[in-house]
């Protein structure tokens, strides 16, 4: 037996923090959902709709990313829920260190599910993780059916894809089959939820999937 150890390779701090977040959350039975979307695809609406639906079954909390501290109030601030706003100081994405800080501010013993609202962009660094169990990409009909092929990276790494604003279908030229084919070129397995946060259409399968994912963890 030797007490001497040689360290050959040290992971970047960002990777270590993401792993630590994932381990902490797993140990506490908390599911974090990292929501990525371009501006205006409906992150906030989806969070509102999701929280109101699951409130009786899971105890949700919210982390909202914003580019600067001087952002206008969001409807999410009105919810009676544990909530943390994280200003990235201009960095166009949340990182694992920011999530860690946010988790420190939340009453984790009373939380089952944390919805993390990313800065609105589809161009943040490739393949990164903040330690969330689930990555969900939200697109919407006005972004066009070729949105996945123009911004492939987030779609390729998603655990689920939401296509929002289905209520606008009569008013746009949007081919749902082509959207699904575009997603499948990048991601063979992630479920695709076509829905409208405005009309409520299609929300049920999304809620069901989210509950199943959350209940795979010890509650």
Q: What is the CA radius of gyration of the chain?
A: 18
Question: Judged by CB under 8 A, which of 98, 147, 160, 161 binds a copy of itself?
Answer: 147
72 binds a copy of itself (CB under 8 A): yes
Q: How far is the CB of 44 from a copy of itself (least distance, A)?
A: 9
Residue number, 70 or 189, with CB nearest to a copy of itself: 70
Determine which helix (DSSP H) or strand (DSSP E) holds 31, and give its type and residue range. Answer: strand 31-36
Q: In what order do the strands lie in the sheet with 83-87?
A: 83-87, 60-66, 113-117, 31-36, 134-140, 160-164, 192-194
Q: How far is the CB of 169 from a copy of itself (least distance, A)?
A: 10
Q: Count Cβ neighbours within 10 Å for each residue of 43-73 and write b for 16 or more, e otherwise.
A: bbbbbbbbbebbeeebbbbbbbbbbeeeeee
- What does the alpha-carbon distance between residue 205 and residue 196 come to, in Å, rounded to a whole number? 12
Structure tokens at 131: 């330690």
Among 27-35, 96-104, 109-117, 122-130, which window interacts with a copy of itself (CB under 8 A)?
122-130
Among 18-26, 109-117, 165-173, 186-194, which window interacts with a copy of itself (CB under 8 A)?
165-173
Total site size for a copy of itself, rule CB under 8 A? 34
121 binds a copy of itself (CB under 8 A): yes
Give me the residues that bind a copy of itself (CB under 8 A), please: 38-40, 66-68, 71-72, 90, 92, 119-126, 140, 142-144, 146-147, 149-153, 165, 167-168, 171-172
């Amino acid at each position: 037996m030797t007490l001497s150890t040689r360290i050959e390779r040290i992971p970047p701090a960002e990777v270590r923090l993401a792993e630590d977040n994932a381990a902490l959350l797993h140990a506490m039975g908390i599911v974090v959902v990292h929501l990525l979307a371009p501006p205006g695809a409906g992150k906030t609406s989806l969070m509102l709709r999701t929280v109101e639906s699951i409130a009786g079954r899971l105890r949700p909390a919210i982390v909202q990313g914003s580019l600067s501290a001087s952002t206008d109030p969001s409807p999410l601030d009105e919810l009676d829920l544990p909530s943390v706003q994280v200003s990235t100081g201009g960095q166009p994405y949340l990182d694992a260190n920011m999530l860690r800080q946010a988790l420190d501010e939340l009453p984790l013993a009373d939380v089952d599910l944390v919805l993390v609202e990313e800065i609105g962009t589809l161009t943040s660094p490739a393949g990164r993780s903040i330690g969330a169990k689930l990555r969900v990409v939200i697109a919407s009909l006005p972004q066009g059916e070729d949105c996945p092929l123009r911004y492939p990276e987030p779609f390729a790494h998603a655990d689920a894809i939401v296509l929002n604003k289905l209520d606008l279908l009569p008013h746009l030229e949007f081919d749902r089959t082509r959207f699904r084919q575009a997603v499948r070129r990048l991601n063979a397995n992630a479920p695709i939820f076509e829905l409208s946060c405005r009309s409520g259409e299609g929300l049920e399968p999304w809620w069901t999937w989210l509950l199943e994912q959350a209940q795979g963890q010890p509650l």
